[in-house]
A and B are shown apart, each in its own frame.
Chain A
Amino acid sequence: MSKFSSQDVQRLGLLARTAISDDQAAELAPQLESILDYVAKLSSVDTTDTEITTQVTGLVDVWREDEVKSSKLSREELLQNAPSTQDGYIKVRRVL
């Protein structure tokens, strides 16, 4: 049974905020399916007593003092890549 239809792919695309055309979806569906078929072999491993990996070198809670420091960068430099700005702010499209 096919796990993925083109519609499923487009639904995932919407969740990921990435538009997927009909042609792309038709091409991606079998590819995603073969990737998921391949990774399905993980289910054969008994992991009942295994903890999940959360950090690989054993670091926990790396803290620093919460100090206020001034930025080395100017507002202009920080905004230079934004496609649309106004009065020193990033301009965003209307949400409501």
Chain B
Amino acid sequence: MVWDKLPELVEKVRAGEVSAVSLVQQSIDKAKESEDYHALLEINNQALEQAKSIDERIAKGEKDGALLGIPFVAKDNFLTHHTKTTAASKLLDNFQAPYQATAIEKLEAEGAIMIGKANLDEFAHGSSTENSAYGPTKNPHDKSRVPGGSSGGSAAAVALGIVPFALGTDTGGSIRLPASFCGVVGYKPTYGLVSRYGVIAMASSTDVIGPITRNVSDSGYLLDILAGQDPLDSTTIEREKSYQSKAHNLKGLKVGIVSEHMGEGVDSSVKASIQSAIDKLKEAGAEIVEIDMELNELALAAYYVIAPAEISSNLARYDGVKYGVSAENAGDLLETYLKFRGEGFGEEPIRRILTGTFVLSSGYQDAYYKQAQKVRTQITEEYARAFEKVDVLIGPTAPTPPFKLGEKQDPLSMYLSDSMTIATNLAGLPAISLPVATDDLPVGLHLQGAQRTDKKLLDIAMSVEDLL
């Protein structure tokens, strides 16, 4: 069975046409059948029990819950009961979270059932899921290619039909890039719209949580459940009344194309797919405007100063004292730290910790870190000028289709995969990646909106999705 849209699926569960147990069983069967793709790190072995208790509630007439009986997976950087939480790091190989993320609590309160944890780049550091300490996930459309990252397992699980939706995190493109590579929808909310309590921190000034779904309306449906202030996350902002998406009139809609995102360095097949989407928008009556955003080009450089700086601070908590596998034969405390972290972290986290330590170190902080935060201000201002002229910015989510496993050995060339998504995070904007019809590998259309206009962006995306 292909998954229906979430509200329709819930209606069937409520009406007793399908049971929660049968949906969860279907998910687990599909997960086992798709083991080759390595989308999941662990199956929740209590998921069937949870489904059974939901079916019992339904039998008693307790039918509340916007996600009654719906299975899902969470990226393995969400703290959850019933499974380990590893962040795909050896360092947290046996970590059992004592409490759950707010996002998981909210979904469970609506009757959703987490059937497992999805693979990711270690601590969400990467763009291909190859940096997982437990081995890479493979692209559902071509096993020799990457699913994108860092939420590669979540996107692959949705594309493979294991679950109707998954949770991911997006610090520089980590929801949108894998959504693009796997041919599914990936939504990055405005910074602070969804509580991050109980999610393993990467770069706190850009980290957001969002859904990966089969269609836009499911993303809006889930955001409606997830959004809102949380006393446990002081960065959360006020929400809009509803995020349930409705079609938005495309006639007269002002659509900006970032010229730099359709120029050199973008694969010709990607460009052709995006151009045909733009042509369809034009036919539908949208007004297309080309916008030069020169500073947008500097976003990747600013990010690779700011993010490592925050990462080096956030990962300081992994000291081998509070959690993790202890360095047994270490001598003193300093040696415990050195050994535990040196042996526990994989290559990419170490690269980022060292880069971050360097840019924050005495004598370099002004030239690197402060300058990057000033360029960030200018990037945000450039976006504000653009949104005075247009309703939405459109372009490719990624400069290339999914690349081959092992193709990008040089760290910098991997970083460049995020060149189109990263500025969004620095400015805290909402954005979405939609699959564009192609004959070959998946391509994602990237839509970015002004801060705190998530509802409008979802509505526009829903109408664009109909066109594609």
Question: A and B: partners?
Answer: yes
Which residues of A come within 8 Å of B, CB atoms? Answer: 9, 12-21, 24, 28, 31-32, 34-36, 38-43, 45, 47, 50-57, 59, 62, 64, 72-73, 77-78, 80-84, 90, 92-95
Give every chain A residue within 8 A of B181 (Cβ-Cβ). Answer: none
Known: A24-B350, A56-B451. 17 other contacts (CB 8 A): A12-B358, A12-B361, A13-B354, A15-B361, A16-B357, A17-B341, A21-B342, A35-B355, A39-B302, A39-B305, A52-B374, A57-B235, A59-B234, A64-B231, A73-B98, A81-B96, A81-B322
The answer to whether residues A51 and B372 also contact, given A19-B342, A35-B411 and a CB cut-off of 8 A, is no
B403 interface residue (CB < 8 Å to A): no
The answer to whether residues A56 and B205 also contact, given A64-B231, A83-B320 and a CB cut-off of 8 A, is yes
Least CB distance from B106 to A in Å reads: 17
Contact with A along B320-340 (1 / 0, CB 8 A): 111111100010111011110
Complex alpha-carbon distance, A23 and B372, angstroms: 31
Contact of A50 among B95, B368, B374, B411 (CB under 8 A): B374
Q: Are B376 and A18 in contact (CB under 8 A)?
A: no
Contact of B304 among A13, A16, A35 (CB under 8 A): A35
Contact of A59 among B237, B350, B354, B427 (CB under 8 A): B237
Q: Which of B302, B323, B374 has the most CB of A within 10 A?
A: B374
Complex alpha-carbon distance, A43 and B369, angstroms: 11
Contact of A18 among B206, B342, B428 (CB under 8 A): B342
Least CB distance from B202 to A in Å reads: 15
Contact of B380 among A24, A53, A94 (CB under 8 A): A53
Give every chain B residue within 8 A of A81 (Cβ-Cβ). Answer: 94-96, 98, 322-324
Give every chain A residue within 8 A of B237 (Cβ-Cβ). Answer: 57, 59
Q: Are B190 and A57 in contact (CB under 8 A)?
A: yes
Contact with A along B190-201 (1 / 0, CB 8 A): 111000000000
Give every chain A residue within 8 A of B339 (Cβ-Cβ). Answer: 19
B165 interface residue (CB < 8 Å to A): no
Query: Which B-chain residue is minimally distant from A41 (CB atoms)?
Result: B301
Complex alpha-carbon distance, A15 and B78, angstroms: 29
Q: Are A90 and B322 in contact (CB under 8 A)?
A: yes
Q: Are A38 and B302 in contact (CB under 8 A)?
A: no
Q: Are B312 and A16 in contact (CB under 8 A)?
A: yes
22 contacts between A and B (CB under 8 A): A12-B357, A13-B354, A17-B319, A18-B353, A19-B341, A28-B354, A39-B372, A42-B301, A45-B295, A45-B375, A52-B374, A53-B376, A56-B427, A57-B235, A57-B451, A59-B234, A59-B237, A73-B99, A90-B322, A92-B321, A92-B333, A95-B333
Q: Are A80 and B351 in contact (CB under 8 A)?
A: no
The answer to whether residues A32 and B355 also contact, given A45-B378, A50-B374 and a CB cut-off of 8 A, is yes
Which residues of B (190-241) have their CB < 8 Å from a CB of A? 190-192, 205-206, 231, 234-235, 237
Complex alpha-carbon distance, A19 and B344, angstroms: 10
Give every chain A residue within 8 A of B415 (Cβ-Cβ). Answer: 35
Least CB distance from A42 to B in Å reads: 5
Least CB distance from B94 to A in Å reads: 8
Contact of A90 among B231, B304, B321, B345 (CB under 8 A): B321
> Number of B residues contacting the other chain (C-beta, 8 Å)?
73
B373 interface residue (CB < 8 Å to A): yes
Across the A-B interface, the 9 shortest Cβ-Cβ residue pairs: A19-B342, A83-B326, A81-B323, A56-B428, A47-B374, A52-B373, A19-B338, A17-B337, A18-B341
Least CB distance from A47 to B in Å reads: 4
Q: Are A16 and B377 in contact (CB under 8 A)?
A: no
Give every chain B residue within 8 A of A40 (Cβ-Cβ). Answer: 301
Q: Are A77 and B98 in contact (CB under 8 A)?
A: yes
Give every chain A residue within 8 A of B205 (Cβ-Cβ). Answer: 53, 55-56
Give every chain B residue within 8 A of A64 (Cβ-Cβ). Answer: 231
Give every chain A residue within 8 A of B361 (Cβ-Cβ). Answer: 12, 15
Give every chain A residue within 8 A of B451 (Cβ-Cβ). Answer: 56-57
B56 interface residue (CB < 8 Å to A): no
Give every chain B residue within 8 A of A94 (Cβ-Cβ). Answer: 332-333
Q: Which of A32, A41, A42 has the most CB of B within 10 A?
A: A42
Complex alpha-carbon distance, A59 and B374, angstroms: 18
Give every chain A residue within 8 A of B295 (Cβ-Cβ). Answer: 45
Complex alpha-carbon distance, A34 and B337, angstroms: 28
Query: Which B-chain residue is minimally distant from A47 (CB atoms)?
Result: B374
Give every chain A residue within 8 A of B319 (Cβ-Cβ). Answer: 17
Give every chain A residue within 8 A of B427 (Cβ-Cβ). Answer: 56
Q: Are A42 and B302 in contact (CB under 8 A)?
A: yes
Complex alpha-carbon distance, A63 and B310, angstroms: 23
Complex alpha-carbon distance, A84 and B321, angstroms: 8
Contact of B358 among A31, A32, A78 (CB under 8 A): A32
The answer to whether residues A19 and B343 also contact, given A50-B374, A90-B322, A93-B333 and a CB cut-off of 8 A, is yes
Q: Are A56 and B351 in contact (CB under 8 A)?
A: no
Give every chain A residue within 8 A of B412 (Cβ-Cβ). Answer: 31, 34-35, 38
